[in-house]
Amino acid sequence: MPAARSGPADRTPIPLSVLTGFLGAGKTTLLNRLVADEGMADTALIINEFGEVGIDHLLVETANEDIVEMSSGCLCCTISGDLIRTLEDLVARRDAGEIRHFSRVVIETTGLADPAPVLHTIMNHNYLVYRYRLASVVTVVDAVNGMATLDAHAEAVKQAAMADRLVLTKTDLLGEGGSDGLDALKARLRELNPAAPMLDAARGEAVADRLFDAGLYDPEAKTPDVVRWLAAEAYDGNGHHEHEHEHDHGHDPNRHDEHIRAFCITTDQPIRATSLELFMELLRLQHGNGLLRLKGIVLLEEEPERPVVIHAVQHVFHPPIRLGQWPGDGARLTRLVCITRDVEKSQIEGLLEAFTDRLTDGGAAFRDMTLSLRPGGGR
Ligand SMILES: Nc1nc2c(ncn2[C@@H]2O[C@H](COP(=O)(O)OP(=O)(O)OP(=O)(O)O)[C@@H](O)[C@H]2O)c(=O)[nH]1
């Protein structure tokens, strides 16, 4: 196996994407196409079994029993032991130059899997959290059965709501008159998840670069591209996506979608660094389960010119990242985009206000009472 390493090991955290989607949605079919995609050349793909992905014709070299290299350069590996071991092993072999250098990891989850525990596993691991960072959640949705699956399964709704990219499969099977159904499915997905681009697999749109380069960092420039990542404008406007349980549009109130909220909270009130930590901690404790995704850029009182980027998937918060300057038009505004299940905008807004309110000195009471519990709390 050729080693692509020269000099010291690259310690830049490796972007990691999770590919999910309901049973039979078309994950394996998509992966089959992707392993031949040149855009996968620097990717290590983690799947459950080689048998599921018909890779034999693309196989170039077998590094060992768990890892094979495709003609595209994509490394394909099965889970050996558990996911933690596989990820540790991959990065150790890359550092040692035993396998081809890769700069992206994609993990395929099984059909019923909730992607959150996969991310928890990695982000709660003392070492892996520094070697990998979440780039994107990609959710495959079947255009033929998608509506029925969303009606029947809360997990499918959750998978769609927490995605950074949505891939529609089987649109080729819709035929004449199928476009109404497709439009309705797209509208439903858009309401669940206002910002995630939808890519049509049958039209060849689901290529590696469009699927997996959805993280905070611009893959070319390797600098944070917060404006693209937050896509805060997708949550603006008519408030339709913030559907605060009005039940005025004839939906079955038991539909799983009715539990999902997608909204953006904006404020020009700065927050102190310690208050931000407490805000995140309380958010995690009170609403972690329902916080499907949270992405944000935050105005700090101590250093208003250097915003902090925060990112959470349910109970797990990434280590915050401090930027050198404000992105885009430079407006110094805290923006939090949230996709939640059974958590209202007013609940998160209220919590943030408690920590930014000048009258209460930015939640001084909370801070003073709780800081002693968190020795050396900041990252
Ligand atoms: N016509 C058509 N068939 C598709 C497409 N995507 C998937 N299929 C078919 O749908 C079936 C299920 O696809 P898979 O790729 O196995 O689905 P999966 O999500 O991996 O399924 P699980 O591993 O069971 O969760 C297979 O028969 C595929 O051939 C598509 O875009 N068009």
**Average pLDDT over the chain, rounded to whole?**
81
Among candidates 249, 250, 240, which has minimal Cα distance to 190? Answer: 240
Extract the tokens encoding 100.
């081809």
Would the CB of 25 count as within 6 Å of ligand 1?
yes
pLDDT at residue 272 in the model: 94
Q: Which of 28, 138, 153 to mutate to test the pocket of ligand 1 (most atoms within 8 A of CB)?
A: 28
Residue nearest to atom 21 of ligand 1 (CA): 24
Close Cβ partners of 179 (under 8 Å, ≥ 6 residues apart)? none
Nearest atom in ligand 1 to the alpha carbon of residue 173 is 1
pLDDT at residue 373 in the model: 40
Extract the tokens encoding 301.
């009182």
Nearest atom in ligand 1 to the alpha carbon of residue 32 is 15
Distance 142 CA to ligand 1 centre (A): 8
Q: Which of 19, 20, 29 to mutate to test the pocket of ligand 1 (most atoms within 8 A of CB)?
A: 29
Extract the tokens encoding 366.
């909370």
Would the CB of 170 count as within 6 Å of ligand 1?
yes
Q: For residues 294 and 248, what is the distance between their CA atoms, to the nearest angstrom?
A: 27
Find out whether 287 and 343 touch, Cβ atoms under 8 Å: yes
Distance 170 CA to ligand 1 centre (A): 8
- Per-residue pLDDT tens digits for 244-263: 444 444 555 447 888 899 99
Q: How far is CA 159 from the centre of its chain?
A: 10
Among candidates 179, 338, 211, 366, which has minimal Cα distance to 281? Answer: 366
Would the CB of 202 count as within 6 Å of ligand 1?
yes
pLDDT at residue 116 in the model: 76
Nearest atom in ligand 1 to the alpha carbon of residue 21 is 19
Would the CB of 111 count as within 6 Å of ligand 1?
yes
Distance 282 CA to ligand 1 centre (A): 41
pLDDT at residue 343 in the model: 94
Complex ipTM above 0.90? yes
Tell me the three state secondary structure of residue 115: helix
- Per-residue pLDDT tens digits for 90-148: 999 999 988 889 999 999 887 556 777 777 778 788 888 889 988 889 999 999 999 99
pLDDT at residue 218 in the model: 64
Ranges of the chain with pLDDT below 50: 1-6, 238-241, 243-249, 253-254, 371-379
Q: For residues 41 and 36, what is the distance between their CA atoms, to the nearest angstrom?
A: 9
Helix or strand run (H / E) with residue 107: strand 104-108
Nearest atom in ligand 1 to the alpha carbon of residue 30 is 15
Q: For residues 272 and 222, what is the distance between their CA atoms, to the nearest angstrom?
A: 28
Q: Which domains does the chain have, with CATH numbers?
A: 14-212 (3.40.50.300), 245-373 (3.30.1220.10)
Strands 308-313 and 321-322: antiparallel
pLDDT at residue 5 in the model: 45
Q: For residues 339 and 209, what is the distance between their CA atoms, to the nearest angstrom?
A: 24
pLDDT at residue 378 in the model: 38
